[in-house]
């Protein structure tokens, strides 16, 4: 009888040892999984941003600040390169130089369709490449993050209609010929065309220059003393429009909507010169753009046993990062330092 009991006990011990969820090896592996970082960072990982007008305050305060914060949060190197002027050829040259250094990932400000060739060289070299701000649809970039410019125009149009009560003379300005800005212009016009008592008196090219935007505004105020509103579409439109509106003593009388929310724009809203700002969520461009590169490099979310062979990437192809609207009602929320 004792022999039988000993045999049963031994069998129980053996079976317990064989249970994969009770064995020491299983427990050790579980502990190792808990201690192993989700992603192993290579100390040599370097993600490079290539833009143009590299010292442009809007880029520095939003795009570049978010990119650098992302790098610190992930424990990887980040570098920012590009010409100091709006020089597309110099940006192309910078991209091609960077390709030779074999960066871990390349984050490119989509400035002009002409940079498509350089983007394609980076992709062909096997470098994860993401475009932000304006898409370069004729390129082979892996992903794009940016704003729907048609929506920017639409929101400005809706705001202007409300500000002027659906009637009066309206003008608009920006950089003519740029794909994204022309889409914004169309969004504006598609709203205004529904209001027969609104007259569009002109479309103007300020060349993203404050002085030129101010000159155009001054001329408009002289030619149309009854001008009801002006819409601005580039970063310099608002400050230029505001300068002339203030000089003419028309603050609050001529309604103004424009894009971006730099300190000078915020100040003009506080002063009652600009009524509505439509802002891009630029921080999201580069934070998530960099994260997309990281996810490609680290194969964070594989979609197959071999995504390369399957001809797919494990990141979104295109992302609309959305917009924000700033008026005197909520401006205090955007005056805090988020750096």
Cα separation, 285 vs 133, whole angstroms: 7
Is the model's pLDDT at 281 over the cut of 50? Answer: yes
Residue 5 binned pLDDT confidence (cut-offs 50, 70, 90): very low
H or E stretch covering 287: helix 282-297
Residue 314 binned pLDDT confidence (cut-offs 50, 70, 90): very high
Reported residue count of the chain is 339
Cα separation, 203 vs 199, whole angstroms: 12
Is the model's pLDDT at 32 over the cut of 90? Answer: no
Lowest mean pLDDT among 142-146, 193-197, 205-209, 240-244: 205-209
Is the model's pLDDT at 23 over the cut of 80? Answer: no
Q: What is the pLDDT of residue 43?
A: 78
Lowest mean pLDDT among 41-50, 215-224, 275-284: 41-50
* pLDDT above 70 as % of the chain: 88
Is the model's pLDDT at 30 over the cut of 60? Answer: no
Cα separation, 194 vs 335, whole angstroms: 35
* pLDDT above 90 as % of the chain: 80
Is the model's pLDDT at 256 over the cut of 60? Answer: yes
Is the model's pLDDT at 34 over the cut of 60? Answer: no
Q: Phi-psi category of 177—alpha, beta or left, where left has phi over 0 and alpha has psi -120 to 50? A: left
Q: What is the pLDDT of residue 337?
A: 55
Q: What is the pLDDT of residue 36?
A: 46
Residue 182: which of 190, 174, 171, 192 has the closest Cα? 174
Is the model's pLDDT at 31 over the cut of 80? Answer: no
Q: What is the pLDDT of residue 308?
A: 85
Is the model's pLDDT at 14 over the cut of 70? Answer: no
Taking residues 49-54, report their average pLDDT. 95
Taking residues 245-266, report their average pLDDT. 96
Q: What is the pLDDT of residue 186?
A: 98
Is the model's pLDDT at 3 over the cut of 70? Answer: no
Cα separation, 147 vs 176, whole angstroms: 18
Residue 24 binned pLDDT confidence (cut-offs 50, 70, 90): low
Tokens of 325: 């609207």
Residues 6+ away with beta carbon under 8 Å from 145: 130, 131, 132, 284, 285, 288, 289, 292, 318, 319, 321
Q: What is the pLDDT of residue 178?
A: 82
Contact assessment for residue 152 and residue 259, using Cβ atoms and an 8 Å cutoff: yes
Residue 339 binned pLDDT confidence (cut-offs 50, 70, 90): very low
Q: What is the pTM for the complete model shown?
A: 0.80
């Amino acid at each position: 009888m004792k022999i039988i009991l000993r045999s049963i006990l031994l069998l129980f011990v053996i079976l317990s040892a064989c249970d994969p969820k009770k064995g020491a090896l299983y427990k050790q592996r579980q502990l190792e999984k808990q201690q192993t970082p989700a992603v192993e960072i290579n100390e040599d990982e370097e993600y490079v941003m290539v833009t143009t007008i590299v010292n442009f305050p809007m880029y520095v305060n939003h795009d570049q600040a978010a990119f650098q914060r992302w790098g610190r949060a992930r424990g990887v190197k980040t570098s920012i390169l590009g010409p100091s002027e709006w020089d597309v050829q110099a940006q192309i040259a910078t991209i091609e130089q960077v390709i030779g250094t074999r960066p871990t990932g390349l984050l490119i400000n989509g400035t002009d369709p002409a940079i498509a060739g350089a983007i394609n060289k980076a992709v062909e070299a096997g470098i994860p490449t993401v475009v932000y701000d304006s898409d370069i649809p004729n390129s082979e970039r892996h992903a794009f993050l940016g704003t729907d410019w048609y929506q920017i125009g639409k929101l400005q149009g809706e705001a202007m209609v409300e500000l002027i009560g659906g009637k009066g003379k309206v003008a608009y300005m920006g950089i003519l010929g740029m794909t994204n800005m022309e889409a914004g212009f169309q969004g504006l016009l598609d709203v205004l065309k529904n209001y027969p008592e609104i007259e569009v008196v002109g479309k103007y090219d300020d060349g993203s220059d404050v002085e030129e935007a101010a000159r155009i505004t001054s001329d408009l105020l002289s030619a149309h003393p009854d001008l009801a509103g002006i819409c601005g579409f580039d970063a310099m439109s608002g400050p230029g429009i505001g300068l002339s509106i203030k000089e003419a003593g028309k603050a609050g009388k001529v309604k103004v909507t424009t894009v971006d929310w730099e300190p000078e724009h915020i100040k003009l809203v506080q002063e009652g010169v600009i009524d509505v700002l439509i802002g891009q969520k630029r921080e999201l461009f580069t934070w998530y753009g960099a994260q997309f590169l990281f996810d490609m490099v680290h194969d964070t979310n594989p979609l197959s046993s071999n995504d390369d062979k399957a001809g797919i990437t494990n990141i979104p192809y295109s992302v609309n990062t959305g917009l924000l609207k700033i008026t005197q009602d909520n401006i205090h929320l955007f005056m805090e330092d988020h750096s």
